[in-house]
């Protein structure tokens, strides 16, 4: 009787393992396809925020920032400077203080500066790059300050200048600056979905 | 010879100063800003009986005050707004006076009869006329003062004037006696005013002709110099005015509860404007006034108010440009160009937008009304008119209004407005605040949107070219609002429907063009317009110098040589400047690096000849002017340092015309630009990197340098661009290169 | 209304103003220091440039509530600094000014440049001075004066 029990146990284990292997393989294949597609969809949501003027105005490929919803070149000929913080006579932080100045219409946030050129999301003619190009730039650890998926998520969640986009203050004429196309919470959630899917990038050039 | 300008005697001075009798707005008396002495005489000859000729005596004591401490205070009869007159006129006087320059102090004279421009009979600055009109006057003032000091010394020492010499504020007698000017001043003042004085030989000049540094530099570099906007008068309030969004509209209703709740706000009330009405906000300080104004809810009445629209205006102007207007000049056959083969004809259309002056110091005026008198502080280019306007608003006589001239942060013509609209606003507010001084401040938005622009212009030119490559026929139509029509002198100065401030630079060209026909249309548009530094030359020089350059290129001739061929032989100043330019630019003109091109222009304005060569490349889609070489013929160079500065900087101002956002446009009656974000003048990157200025040596009468730098630079740069790109640039501002 | 303790040109000053008031107007009207100029109110022209904790700052857009205890240096005080003095002297020596209204701001920007870059290139000058507007057009002489000041500072070891 014991030999039959061991055999049965072994067979059951083998069947179970095989089933598990089969199940997991097939299920994972279904989950991978679904996850990638969902991840790409989540990325498109992230991309729609990144290319909104509140974000992309400081992610230029040129030596100047932009301003306004029409993304015109920033007044007073301010330039990037060697450390993306302006130049001695025209420092970003000289005008852009720690918080928004609503009475004078100048936005503010901690450490106001231009994104480095490695994180440009436009071409030199001020046209936004494609979804694929931006995705590849954002996920390239040699360009993105060595951030992995969780690092990117934390950046989008906590970085003051990122959060500024949802509290951009008033223009000089007193009107509120326009906000990105979704709330910050939704943006973070989309980022999370995208990260959990392995930060897939669309194949677009 | 002493000078070929005018002989030094009082009789001559008084003949010219008959215009100095009091100005009466309603009467036939007038003042001209743009006529030369010959034309004034001609026009007056047509008017019948002459106004009485009064011997105009400029009493030295109104101009020179020798203080006991040795300081010599010289009154300057015009506004200083950057051009350097508060150094130039004193140095002229100080030279003849033999004053110690280190002790000379300049003061901007308040409004008074004695400070009126000897040519134009009003106290003003403009038309690049300060030196041209007051050179002789200030020389005589200095010489007369010296003569009186010498006479006093002669008395004191029992000797004769011819045995006495003067030097650096000291008088020296034949027997070794000496006295300072300060010591003798009291006695000198009691001496009779000499009828005639000897003026120096140019060889005797100590300051005139030398590079003399500005008197006001230090105070402008350490924050101590006060401009009109900096004024602080006891108990002063600050006011801003809400102007209608369309020129001439009127206030229908005001909701001001929120505005009045702002701490420091005192009053909110409607006031009349030059056209229409506005709302004044009076507060303790500027910031609450400005905040309160933005809280006002004003409903405007637009009934009967024309809403100018740039797109509509272009359509209208271009239509007008197709037919001849009022004839400004017609030499030869007006239709000669039609008889020339099409292959030898050029038809060129040019567009020029409205331009705002935007001097750095926003417009402002401070007024206090005390019932039977008033006091005004303003950086005004037009003291006589402004004083009269304030008096009128307050129900006073001009002599009851003390008018102080403040240092101004730029003007370019914007502070010379015949309707004195800013002063009238301030006076209206002061009237209400009786006894309390009020400083009216125009914000930059008020300034950019407030009108009084260089008018919009359209030009249509048909040129027929002869076999020698020179123009054989030239038919030119100009379309643009009349500046003079809006002024009291309009009636007198617009002849045959032609406002010459729109045609100057073309109608009076020095180029020898047979069959030359220029006509002009002056549409009426509800946009206030004004002279903008160099006025008609701003657009006319651009047209002439780019078209001539195009012809030179067609004829495969060097641009300097071509102009030389085409200029009339009597165009002495332009010809001299071309010669000097050729020399001065020889080292670089013909060996420019790859990607660079040469641009040349030559234009005379306000009697001063200027030729210009620029080295231009294209950087970041904009013209980069690496160098400008300028040759100037302004007669005797009174202060070569000022002249150099004026030309170096004036060309930077001139480039306003080429800036991509250098245009004021209107949409449905509303000005579309608000501030320096929408109307962008040249910054350092837009200006020439270096400018070298060369002055033609001359002993002829000095002529102005305030405006002459402006017309030459834009065409020169665009001529260079044409060489780089092969394109013609006839629409300003320059948006796409 | 709120009361602020300010450090202006090394001196302690106290003002009671609406917190939204730009530093420019506190300087000009509450402290009666009119050397810093009003040109546009939207930080486009630089006439209002001061140094805030050593950084060239456009005072027309910084509300007084944002200043805190950071030291403020204006044109009235910049001469106490050797670089500031060299720049002012160079400006006078080179006869830079015309109307002069923009020059307080020009000088403050130039001092910021020279303190950071004692031997600026043409490009350095163009970039740091790039936002200071001068309607008279004194730019060529500004360039020259900065180079003169730079040479002077190098000699004097400022």
CA distance A150 to B14: 90
Choose the final residue of a domain: B190, B221, B252: B221
Relative to beta strand B277-283, strand B374-378 is unpaired
CB contact under 8 A, C139 and B687: yes
Closest to A97 in 3D by CA, of B552, C62, B54: C62
CB contact under 8 A, B685 and A75: no
The pLDDT of residue B1: 25
Relative to beta strand C49-52, strand C72-73 is antiparallel
Does A17 have pLDDT greater than 80? Answer: no
Total length of chain B: 737
If you measure CA to CA, which chain C residue comes closest to B412?
A: C136
If you measure CA to CA, which chain A residue comes closest to C18?
A: A103
Q: With respect to residue B267, please indicate whether it lies within any of the assigned structural domains.
A: yes
The pLDDT of residue B195: 85
**Interface contact B683, partner A, CB < 8 A:** yes
**Interface contact B234, partner C, CB < 8 A:** no
Max CA separation in chain C (angstroms): 49
Let me know whether B276 and B399 are in one domain.
Answer: yes
Range with the lowest mean pLDDT among A186-190, B187-191, B721-725, C30-34? B187-191
CA distance B317 to B478: 9
The string of pLDDT tens digits covering residues A32-83 is: 666 899 999 999 999 999 999 999 999 999 999 999 999 999 999 999 999 9
Does B186 have pLDDT greater than 60? Answer: yes
Is residue B279 helix, strand or coil? strand
Q: How many beta carbons lie within 10 A of that of residue A40, not counting itself?
A: 17
First CA to last CA distance, chain B: 52
Identify the band that residue A23 occupies on the pLDDT scale cut at 50, 70 and 90. low
Identify the band that residue B179 occupies on the pLDDT scale cut at 50, 70 and 90. very high
**Interface contact B676, partner C, CB < 8 A:** yes
Is residue B75 helix, strand or coil? strand
Closest to B416 in 3D by CA, of B530, B504, B272, B528: B530
Closest to A65 in 3D by CA, of A105, A113, A123: A113
Instruction: Tell the burial category of B281 from Cβ atoms under 10 Å away from its Cβ (0-12, 13-18, 19+).
Output: buried
The pLDDT of residue B18: 24
Let me know whether B207 and B250 are in one domain.
Answer: no
Let me know whether B206 and B258 are in one domain.
Answer: no
The pLDDT of residue B155: 96
Does B25 have pLDDT greater than 50? Answer: no
* Interface confidence (ipTM) of the complex: 0.98
Let me know whether B334 and B282 are in one domain.
Answer: no
Q: With respect to residue B732, please indicate whether it lies within any of the assigned structural domains.
A: no
CA distance A94 to A105: 15
Q: Any bridge partners for residue B348, and if so which?
A: B461
**Interface contact A111, partner C, CB < 8 A:** no
The pLDDT of residue B14: 32
Read off the tokens for C49: 């440039």
Q: Any bridge partners for residue B441, and if so which?
A: B364
Identify the band that residue A3 occupies on the pLDDT scale cut at 50, 70 and 90. low
**Whole-number percent of chain B with pLDDT over 70:** 92
**Span B305-323, mean pLDDT?**
98
Q: With respect to residue B686, please indicate whether it lies within any of the assigned structural domains.
A: yes
Let me know whether B649 and B671 are in one domain.
Answer: yes
Q: With respect to residue B685, please indicate whether it lies within any of the assigned structural domains.
A: yes
Closest to C29 in 3D by CA, of B295, B365, B238, B291: B238
Phi, psi (rounded to 5 degrees) for C22: -65, 145
Read off the tokens for B292: 């309160």
The pLDDT of residue B57: 66
Closest to B542 in 3D by CA, of B329, B711, B688: B711
The chain-wide mean pLDDT, for chain B, equals: 92
Choose the final residue of a domain: B406, B441, B476: B441
Q: With respect to residue B310, please indicate whether it lies within any of the assigned structural domains.
A: no
Contacts of B641 in chain C (CB under 8 A): 95
**Interface contact C79, partner B, CB < 8 A:** yes
Q: With respect to residue B314, please indicate whether it lies within any of the assigned structural domains.
A: no
Residue B126's domain comprises 2-221
Choose the final residue of a domain: B415, B441, B467: B441
For chain C, the chains sharing at least 3 beta-carbon pairs closer than 8 angstroms are A, B
Does B199 have pLDDT greater than 60? Answer: yes
CB contact under 8 A, B360 and C91: no
Let me know whether B327 and B375 are in one domain.
Answer: no
Q: Any bridge partners for residue B726, and if so which?
A: none
CB contact under 8 A, B360 and C133: yes
Let me know whether B300 and B331 are in one domain.
Answer: no
The string of pLDDT tens digits covering residues B511-530 is: 999 999 999 999 999 999 99
Q: What is the CATH number of the domain that holds B74?
A: 3.30.365.10
Which domains occur in chain C, in start order? 2-73 (3.10.20.30), 78-154 (1.10.150.120)
Let me know whether B437 and B493 are in one domain.
Answer: no
CB contact under 8 A, A108 and C20: no
- Optimal mutation site among B676, B677, B681, B685, interface A, most CBs of chain A within 10 A: B677
Closest to B623 in 3D by CA, of B659, B591, B652, B592: B659
Range with the lowest mean pLDDT among B36-45, B232-241, B535-544, C70-79? B36-45
How far B364 CA sits from the closest chain C CA (Å)?
12
**Span B169-198, mean pLDDT?**
93
Q: How many domains does chain B have?
A: 3
CB contact under 8 A, A78 and C131: yes
CA distance B239 to B255: 18
Identify the band that residue A205 occupies on the pLDDT scale cut at 50, 70 and 90. confident
- Optimal mutation site among B222, B653, B710, interface C, most CBs of chain C within 10 A: B222
The string of pLDDT tens digits covering residues C87-97 is: 999 999 999 99
Let me know whether B616 and B715 are in one domain.
Answer: yes
If you measure CA to CA, which chain A residue comes closest to B677?
A: A75
Identify the band that residue B489 occupies on the pLDDT scale cut at 50, 70 and 90. confident
Query: B338: which DSSP letter?
Result: G
Contacts of C145 in chain B (CB under 8 A): none
Does B30 have pLDDT greater than 50? Answer: no
The string of pLDDT tens digits covering residues B2-18 is: 222 222 333 333 322 22
Let me know whether B47 and B171 are in one domain.
Answer: yes
Let me know whether B592 and B710 are in one domain.
Answer: yes
Of A76, A93, A104, the CB nearest to C22: A104
How far C58 CA sits from the closest chain A CA (Å)?
6
CB contact under 8 A, A94 and C56: yes
The string of pLDDT tens digits covering residues B121-154 is: 899 999 999 999 999 999 999 999 999 999 999 9
Range with the lowest mean pLDDT among B24-33, B165-174, B378-387, B596-605? B24-33
The string of pLDDT tens digits covering residues B402-458 is: 999 999 999 999 999 999 999 999 999 999 999 999 999 999 999 999 999 999 999
B463 contacts: CB under 8 Å, gap ≥ 6: B337, B345, B346, B347, B348, B471, B473, B474, B475, B547, B551
Let me know whether B615 and B647 are in one domain.
Answer: yes
Q: With respect to residue B524, please indicate whether it lies within any of the assigned structural domains.
A: yes
CA distance B184 to B178: 10
**Span B186-208, mean pLDDT?**
92
**Span C48-66, mean pLDDT?**
98
Whole-structure pTM value: 0.92
List all residues of chain A from 76 to 95 with a beta carbon under 8 Å from chain C.
76-79, 81, 87-91, 93-95
Q: With respect to residue B16, please indicate whether it lies within any of the assigned structural domains.
A: yes
The string of pLDDT tens digits covering residues A87-121 is: 999 999 999 999 999 999 999 999 999 999 999 99
**Interface contact B650, partner C, CB < 8 A:** yes
Does A176 have pLDDT greater than 80? Answer: yes
């Amino acid at each position: 009787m014991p030999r039959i029990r061991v055999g049965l146990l072994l067979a059951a284990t083998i069947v179970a393992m095989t089933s598990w292997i089969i199940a997991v393989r097939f299920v994972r294949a279904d989950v991978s396809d679904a996850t990638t597609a969902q991840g790409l969809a989540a990325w498109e949501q992230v991309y729609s925020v990144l290319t909104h003027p509140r974000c992309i105005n400081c992610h230029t490929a040129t030596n100047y920032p932009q301003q306004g919803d029409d993304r015109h070149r920033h007044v007073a000929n301010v330039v990037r400077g060697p450390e993306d913080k302006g130049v001695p006579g025209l420092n970003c932080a000289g005008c852009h203080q720690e918080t928004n100045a609503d009475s004078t219409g100048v936005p503010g946030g901690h450490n106001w500066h231009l994104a480095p050129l490695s994180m440009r999301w436009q071409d030199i003619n001020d046209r936004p790059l494609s979804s694929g190009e931006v995705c590849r730039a954002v996920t390239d650890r040699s360009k993105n300050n060595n951030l992995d998926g969780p690092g990117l998520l934390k950046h989008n969640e906590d970085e003051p200048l990122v959060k500024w986009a949802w509290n951009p203050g008033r223009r000089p004429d007193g009107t509120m600056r326009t906000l990105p196309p979704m709330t910050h919470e939704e943006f973070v959630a989309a980022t999370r979905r995208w990260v959990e899917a392995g930060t897939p990038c669309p194949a677009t050039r | 010879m002493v000078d070929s300008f005018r002989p030094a005697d009082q009789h001559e001075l008084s003949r010219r100063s008959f215009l100095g009798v009091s100005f009466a707005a309603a009467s036939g008396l007038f003042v001209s800003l743009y006529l030369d002495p010959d034309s004034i005489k001609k026009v007056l000859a047509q008017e019948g009986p002459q106004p009485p000729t009064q011997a105009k005596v400029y009493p030295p004591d109104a101009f020179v005050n020798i203080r006991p401490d040795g300081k010599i205070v010289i009154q300057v009869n015009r506004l200083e707004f950057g051009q350097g007159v508060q150094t130039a006129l004193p140095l002229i006087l100080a030279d003849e006076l033999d004053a110690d320059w280190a002790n000379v102090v300049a003061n901007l004279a308040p409004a008074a009869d004695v400070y009126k421009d000897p040519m134009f009979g009003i106290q003003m600055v403009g038309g690049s006329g300060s030196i041209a009109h007051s050179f002789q006057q200030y020389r005589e003032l200095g010489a007369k003062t010296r003569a009186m000091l010498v006479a006093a010394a002669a008395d004191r020492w029992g000797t004769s004037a011819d045995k006495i010499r003067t030097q650096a504020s000291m008088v020296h007698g034949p027997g070794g006696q000496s006295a300072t000017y300060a010591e003798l001043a009291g006695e000198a003042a009691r001496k009779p005013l000499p009828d005639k004085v000897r003026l120096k030989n140019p060889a005797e000049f100590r300051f005139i002709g030398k590079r003399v540094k500005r008197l006001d530099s230090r105070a402008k570099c350490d924050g101590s110099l006060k401009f009109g906007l900096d004024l602080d008068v006891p108990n002063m309030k600050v006011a801003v005015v809400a102007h209608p969004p369309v020129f001439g509209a009127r206030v229908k209703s005001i909701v001001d509860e929120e505005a009045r709740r702002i701490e420091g706000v005192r009053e909110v009330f409607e006031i009349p404007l030059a056209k229409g009405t506005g709302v004044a906000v009076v507060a303790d300080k500027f910031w609450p006034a400005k905040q309160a104004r933005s809280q006002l809810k004003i409903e405007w009445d637009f009934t009967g108010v024309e809403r100018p629209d740039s797109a509509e205006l272009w359509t209208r102007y271009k239509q007008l440009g197709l037919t001849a207007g009022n004839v400004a000049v017609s030499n030869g056959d007006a239709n000669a160009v039609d008889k020339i083969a099409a292959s030898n004809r050029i038809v060129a259309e040019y567009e020029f937008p409205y331009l705002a002056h935007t001097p750095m110091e926003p417009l402002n005026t401070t007024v206090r009304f005390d019932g039977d008198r008033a006091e005004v502080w303003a950086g005004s280019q037009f003291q006589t008119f402004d004083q009269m306007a304030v008096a009128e608003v307050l129900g006073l006589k001009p002599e009851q209004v003390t008018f102080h001239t403040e240092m101004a942060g730029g003007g370019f013509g914007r502070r010379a407005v015949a309707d004195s609209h800013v002063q009238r606003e301030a006076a209206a507010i002061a009237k209400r605040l009786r006894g309390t001084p009020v400083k009216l401040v125009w914000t930059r938005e008020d300034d950019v949107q407030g009108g009084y622009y260089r008018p919009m212009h359209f030009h249509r030119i048909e040129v027929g070219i002869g076999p020698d490559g020179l123009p054989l026929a030239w038919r030119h139509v100009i379309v643009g609002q009349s500046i003079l029509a809006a002024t009291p002198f309009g009636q007198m100065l617009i002849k045959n429907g032609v406002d010459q401030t729109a045609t100057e630079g073309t109608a009076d060209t020095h180029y020898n063009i047979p069959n030359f026909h220029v006509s002009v249309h002056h549409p009426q548009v509800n946009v206030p317009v004004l002279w903008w530094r160099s006025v008609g030359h701003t657009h006319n020089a651009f047209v002439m110098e780019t078209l001539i350059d195009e012809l030179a290129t067609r004829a495969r001739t060097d641009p300097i040589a071509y102009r030389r061929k085409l200029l009339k032989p009597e165009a002495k100043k332009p010809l001299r400047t071309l010669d000097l330019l050729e020399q001065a630019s020889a080292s670089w003109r013909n060996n420019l690096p790859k990607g660079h091109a040469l641009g040349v222009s030559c234009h005379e304005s306000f009697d001063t000849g200027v030729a210009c060569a620029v080295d231009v490349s294209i950087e970041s889609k904009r013209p980069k002017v690496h160098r400008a070489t300028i040759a100037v013929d302004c007669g005797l160079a009174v202060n070569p340092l000022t002249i150099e500065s004026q030309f170096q900087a004036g060309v930077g101002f001139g480039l306003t015309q080429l800036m991509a956002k250098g245009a004021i446009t209107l949409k449905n009656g509303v000005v579309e630009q608000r501030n320096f974000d929408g109307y962008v003048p040249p910054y350092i990157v837009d200006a020439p990197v270096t400018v070298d200025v060369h002055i033609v040596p001359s002993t002829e009468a000095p002529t102005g340098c305030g405006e002459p730098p402006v017309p030459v630079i834009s065409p020169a740069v665009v001529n260079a661009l044409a060489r780089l790109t092969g394109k013609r640039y006839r629409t300003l501002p320059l948006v796409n290169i | 209304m709120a009361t602020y303790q300010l450090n202006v040109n090394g001196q302690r000053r106290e003002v009671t103003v609406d917190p939204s008031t730009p530093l420019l107007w506190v300087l000009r009207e509450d402290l009666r220091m009119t050397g810093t100029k009003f040109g546009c109110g939207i930080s486009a022209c630089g006439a209002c440039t001061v140094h805030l904790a050593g950084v060239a700052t456009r005072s027309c857009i910084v509300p007084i509530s944002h200043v805190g205890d950071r030291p403020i240096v204006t044109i009235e005080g910049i001469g106490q600094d050797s670089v500031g003095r060299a720049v002012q002297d160079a400006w006078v020596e080179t006869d830079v000014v015309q109307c002069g209204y923009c020059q307080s701001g020009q000088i403050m920007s130039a001092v910021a440049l020279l303190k950071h870059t004692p031997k600026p290139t043409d490009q350095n000058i163009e970039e740091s001075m790039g936002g200071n507007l001068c309607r008279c057009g004194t730019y060529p002489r500004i360039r020259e004066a900065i180079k003169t000041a730079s040479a002077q500072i190098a000699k004097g070891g400022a």
